[in-house]
Chain A
Amino acid sequence: MSERRPFVLYTLMAFGYAFLYLPIASVVAFSFNETRSVSLWKGFSLQWYGRLLENQAVIDAALLSLLIAAMASTLAVVIGTMAALALSRFGRFKGRGLLSLLSSAPLVMPDVMLGISALFLFITLQQLVGWPEGRGIDTITIAHVTLCVCYVTVVVRSRLAQTDHSLEEAAMDLGARPWKVFFLVTLPLIWPALLAGWLLAFTLSLDDVVIASFTSGPGSSTLPVLILSKVRFGVTPEINALATLIIVAVCVGVSLAGWLMHRNARHAR
């Protein structure tokens, strides 16, 4: 290969990575700004973090978001793992095509579509059977589970495709019952994918603003819904501080998960 091309390639790559990280870096930097400005640097200060922690509405919304994300991702991992098992281990069965379609279509469905359709379902259900009464934590969680199941299914399916099916067959030949095979053979093999799927689902739920806006009711604003309503009124360093905290939390979480999986992979060898 030629000697000149890597230079062009590296320049383009550097540009791409700069494009990805400069905006985030600027948000973090200006969260420590002394004045209200988010574009002119005046000096270092932690005052925006202080104000943020005094803001009860933000704290409530953050706790609500974490709660919904925890519930939605846990449920999504259970359901998504079942879907992945069915699709990659059960061979041909009636409805396999439908399950495969249903578990991948929400991945490419625009958020607005998922949000409005879930909301219309809840309105119709309330009319017909009286449940759910109004909208709140449960409706947001259900809508998030539906989205997250698909991501979990993709992650677990790809892991199942890489693992050796013959181990499970051997366990079954030795007389282990299917549920025992799953918990003693399959689960230890695929748990990194379950963890990755859970983390992905957790952040998806935590980040979602559109679906949550449609399916939330009065008094159940999640953090992104609150942020969106604040951002509409202008940019403030308080939001920068909040964004920085979220970014730091995500980085710590992802690194921790990565480290855990790496360690596990080394132990396995």
Chain B
Amino acid sequence: MQRPASHDGGAWWDLWFHVVVGLFRQIGALGRELRGSRGRYVVIAIPMLWLLAFFLAPLLVVLKISVAERTGGVPPYSDLVAIGEQGLIQINLSLKGYATLLTDPLYVESYLNSLQFASISTLGCLLLGYPIAYGIARATPAWRMFLLVLVVLPFWTSSLLRTYALIGLLRDNGMVNQLLMAIGATDAPIRLIDTPFAVYVGITYNYLPFMVLPLVANLMRLDFTLLQAAADLGAKPWRAFLSVTLPLSLPGIIAGSLLVFIPAVGEYVIPALLGGPEALSIGSRIWEDFFNARNYPLAAAVAVAMLVLIVVPMLLFEASQERRAEKEAQRA
């Protein structure tokens, strides 16, 4: 096999091999020697250290760079702590990045746009995903498995390719416009691609499985005799749905919506490919500031603000929901 180009020759292969073999031997050897409890700490420590080093530490680094000053050097930002001329320790703190976020309308608009993309698409996922999830939950076990696999299967192919597929469909001479013109709904092609509508469709399309799966899990636990009872008491199907099924599936709706909304807020590829060059979003701001303007502190500030203003509140909300559900489960 031809080896792909690498910046450090063939060393990566040996390195990787040693890491994997080393990890396995580490577990084995420690387990053998220590028996019992001390081996546990290795099993805890390896994932813990990995995630601390490559997930938590990077977030702190982003925070640090977001308050740095932009410079012309390599890397293009100032150090947070520097030794001054008289041997004094200097702390350089610059809030320029954050000031730009508040004063430059481009950034405010990007945040509002991303929120709008994410919320409308989440609604789209819910409207499209709820019937699917309901149908799956009520299907016979064999059908349920089949229908579930059908929902999850597209998720295994890349989001980029699925977004690419939508470009072909939504273009001015694409299949959607051809169909609309064939049935006489419109004479000239409607502009679909490079509009917010295309972004809604794109995000809904890509994130639908994330909405369906929690809903199925929730609806499968639903006691359908309650619906029977509602019907026996004279409730019309729609009324029974609105006053029994919907309220009981609220935890599933919330879980699914969060799974769609949070990643959708930071989505870069879909708005960039379907929303046209004018589509402003948080993701495209980070991308532009980083890759094109090479303004690292500003890109970091945009990312931190997204995390603090949107992602963290959402996660806290989810945690509070889970705690409430647990309490209710304990009471029941």
Chain A residues at the B interface, C-beta cutoff of 8 Å:
1-2, 4-5, 9-10, 12-13, 15-17, 19-24, 26-27, 30, 38-40, 60-61, 63-64, 67, 71, 74-75, 78-80, 82-83, 85-86, 90, 93, 95, 98-99, 102-103, 105-106, 108-114, 116-118, 120-121, 123-124, 127, 133-138, 141-143, 145-146, 149, 153, 177-180, 182, 203, 206-207, 209-210, 214, 217-220, 224, 227-228, 231-232, 235, 239-240, 243, 246-247, 250-251, 254, 258
Contacts and interface: CB of A to CB of B under 8 A. Distances in A.
Contact of A13 (B39, B131, B314): B131
B160 A207 contact: yes
Interface in B29-77: 31-32, 35-36, 39-40, 43-44, 46-48, 50-52, 54-59, 61-62, 64-65, 75
B293 to A, nearest CB: 14
Given A80-B47, A227-B160, 5 more contacts: A12-B135, A22-B169, A60-B2, A79-B47, A137-B4
Interface of B: 1-2, 4-8, 12, 15-16, 19-20, 23-24, 27-28, 31-32, 35-36, 39-40, 43-44, 46-48, 50-52, 54-59, 61-62, 64-65, 75, 128-129, 131-132, 134-135, 149-151, 153-154, 156-162, 164-169, 171, 173-175, 178, 205, 208, 224, 227-228, 231, 237, 258-259, 262-263, 265-269, 273, 282-283, 286-287, 290, 296, 299-300, 303, 306-307, 311, 314-315
Nearest to B212: A16
A39 B171 contact: yes
Contacts, number: 293
A22 B59 CA distance: 39
B168 A38 contact: yes
A224 B296 contact: no
B227 A231 contact: no
A231 B131 contact: no
Contacts of A80: 47
Given A108-B258, A146-B54, A13 B5 contact: no
